[in-house]
């Protein structure tokens, strides 16, 4: 995770990037969201990314000090302010959820409860042309669990990287480890 390859959209007030570990402390009331249900637009979350051409698979392990409503961290794929995907762990109603937001002009939101894991959560985002596929690694049986398959507009390239936000506060602390981007995994949905 060489810093010279990655750049910030909305640099956080505090971060370090050493030895393959990116540690971030979020700014005040940061988020990515567009309109649906809440009626507001926010595009001030922290996103450490690089451009990627064509199809790909990105993975990262996230480990955060989740304390406040909507604390979140994970992967993001972004074409523009109006077209992006964020996927990762989000703290809602006192528990950890795997959360995915796909935004094509307006945002949607899906959640699935997952157990807290002191080792963090490994997540995967794959682009297959017009589709985005989101998974997390279940350490119990060492298998990738499907969470979401959604539409995303085809384009020659997108920005891909690590994302974190704290919509209700500042100071959410999160560590990202083993971030990789490589060729897309097989389109087979069922192993």
The pTM score is 0.94
What pLDDT does residue 4 have?
A: 56
Using DSSP, state whether 39 is helix, strand or coil.
coil
Q: What is the dihedral of CA 117, 70, 8, 149, to 10 degrees?
A: 70
Residue 54's pLDDT is 97
111 exposure class (CB count in 10 Å sphere: 0-12, 13-18, 19+): middle
pLDDT at 70: 96
Q: Which fold has domain 3-165?
A: Jelly Rolls (2.60.120)
Query: In this structure, what DSSP letter does residue 185 have?
Result: P
Provide CB contacts within 8 A for 152, sequence distance 6+.
Answer: 77, 79, 83, 85, 102, 104, 127, 130, 131, 132
Q: Identify the pLDDT of residue 39.
A: 75
- What whole-number distance in Å separates Cα of residue 103 and Cα of residue 118? 30
Token pair of 101, please? 């937001």
* pLDDT beneath 70: ranges in the chain: 1-4, 37, 191
Question: Which pLDDT score is estimated for 111?
Answer: 95
């Amino acid at each position: 995770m060489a810093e010279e390859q990655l750049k910030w959209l909305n640099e956080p007030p505090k971060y370090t990037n050493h030895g393959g570990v990116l540690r971030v402390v979020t700014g005040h009331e940061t988020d990515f969201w567009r309109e649906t249900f809440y009626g507001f637009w926010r595009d001030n979350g922290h996103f450490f990314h690089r451009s990627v051409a064509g199809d790909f698979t990105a993975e990262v392990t996230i480990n955060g000090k989740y304390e406040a409503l909507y604390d979140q961290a994970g992967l993001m794929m972004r074409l523009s302010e109006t077209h992006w995907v964020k996927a990762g762990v989000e703290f809602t109603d006192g528990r950890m959820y795997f959360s995915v937001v796909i935004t094509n002009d307006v945002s949607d939101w899906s959640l699935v409860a997952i157990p807290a894991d002191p080792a963090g959560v490994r997540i995967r985002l794959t682009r297959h042309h017009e589709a985005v596929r989101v998974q997390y690694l279940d350490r119990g049986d060492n298998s990738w669990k499907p969470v979401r398959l959604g539409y995303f507009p085809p384009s020659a390239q997108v920005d891909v990287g690590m994302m974190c936000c704290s919509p209700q506060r500042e100071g959410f602390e999160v560590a990202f480890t083993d971030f990789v981007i490589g060729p897309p995994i097989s389109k087979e949905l069922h192993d």
